[in-house]
Structure 1
Amino acid sequence: MSNIRITKQFSFETGHALYGYDGKCRNVHGHSYKLSVTVIGTPIADVNHVKFGMVIDFGDLKKIVKEEIVDVFDHATVFNKNTPHVELAEELSSRGHNVLLVDYQPTSEMMVVDFAEKIKLRLPQNIMLHSLRLQETATSYAEWYASDNS
């Protein structure tokens, strides 16, 4: 049977700041991110299986991405924990803000790498993550492809 790619799209709002950057993005600001998650696999061939004909149930993929990415990053502010932004993060957290401290500069490029690792760990064994596309603005996005990272 043929391999088929399935894509589900998500959106979330996240703030961040890029410590040490020489442009506007050094300031705390936010984006309306759009994340496209594409997986690849063979549709279930067992006619008696409840999910016959599906590579993966869109609802199952949605659950994984919501739990690992959307519910964590939506309306959070992300800072690299290895920068002085930690002080700002602590202040915001003490005032009830949702702050994430990560091990990387929170650029779209690094976020998409983080997201790929998290999603891959949750996929069923017979389903492979094919690609991610993280759109930061209407005209800017970062992409991750499994074929580029094997």
Structure 2
Amino acid sequence: MKITKIFTFDSSHMLNGHDGKCRNLHGHTYSLEITVSDGLIEAGAKAGMVMDFADLKTLVEQHIIEPFDHAFLYHGANARESQIAALLEGWQMKTLRLPRRTTAENLSVEIYGRLKAAGLPVCSVKLWETPASCAEYSEPP
């Protein structure tokens, strides 16, 4: 059994070295679909649920929305992006250092990993960068 909850957050990023306009600093209103999979709870106040949607919301807001929303997302191993982050941090602006390039594909993998590490039985993450473009990461078989 699976359930899905949708979230949104706003972030900026850049893809240093990209051959298109995404090499420039820009932002997105991301739409995030989190799907969890588990058996149904058999007893108690939450019987018949995979997970209470309110509990799912709390975990996603804590581990994803809070750190990502209104932050400059940057690849910590990229010198140029790190310089921009340092400048923003000097102005007390929010940044989030990530271990890989901030493509939609990599962000979906990062989000999946953070939720798994938090103990959530996540089976897929779908991240919409625009209303027409998304990346999806699903649990390996």
TM-score normalised by length of structure 1? 0.89
Q: Any stretches of 5+ residues in structure 1 without a counterpart? A: none
Shift of 1:131: 1.1
Residue of structure 2 in register with 1:44 after alignment: 41
Aligned residue for 1:116, secondary structure, equals: helix
Q: Which moved more, 1:96-105 or 1:10-19?
A: 96-105
Q: Measure, in 2, the Cα distance between the counterparts of 1:70 and 1:41.
A: 23
> Is 1:136 equivalent to 2:129 in the alignment?
yes
Tell me whether 1:80 sits opposite 2:81 in the alignment: no
Aligned pairs, number: 140
Q: Give the root-mean-square deviation of aligned CA atoms.
A: 1.1
Question: Which structure's CA Rg is the greater one?
Answer: 1
Residue-by-residue CA offset, 1:78-97 (whole Å, 9 max, x unaligned): 11111122111111110121
What is the DSSP-based 3-state SS (H/G/I as helix, E as strand, rest coil) of the residue aligned with 1:44? coil
Query: How far did 1:41 drift?
Result: 1.3
Choose 4-13 or 84-93, whichever is displaced more. Answer: 84-93
Q: In structure 2, how many angstroms separate the alpha carbons of the residues matched to 1:100 and 1:42?
A: 34
Question: Which TM-score applies when normalising by structure 2?
Answer: 0.95
Give the alignment of 1:1-150 within 5 angstroms.
4-46=1-43, 49-83=44-78, 84-123=80-119, 128-146=121-139, 149-150=140-141
Amino acid at match of 1:82: A
- Give 1:55 shift: 0.9
Deviates more, 1:31-40 or 1:76-85: 76-85
Q: Displaced runs of 4+ in structure 1, greater than 2 A?
A: none
Unaligned residue ranges in structure 2 (runs of 5+): none
User: Helix, strand or coil: the match of 1:61?
Assistant: helix
The secondary structure found in structure 1 opposite 2:46 is: coil
Distance across 2 between alignment mates of 1:116 and 1:81: 19
Q: Secondary structure at the match of 1:79?
A: strand
Whole-Å separation in 2 of the counterparts to 1:75 and 1:16: 10
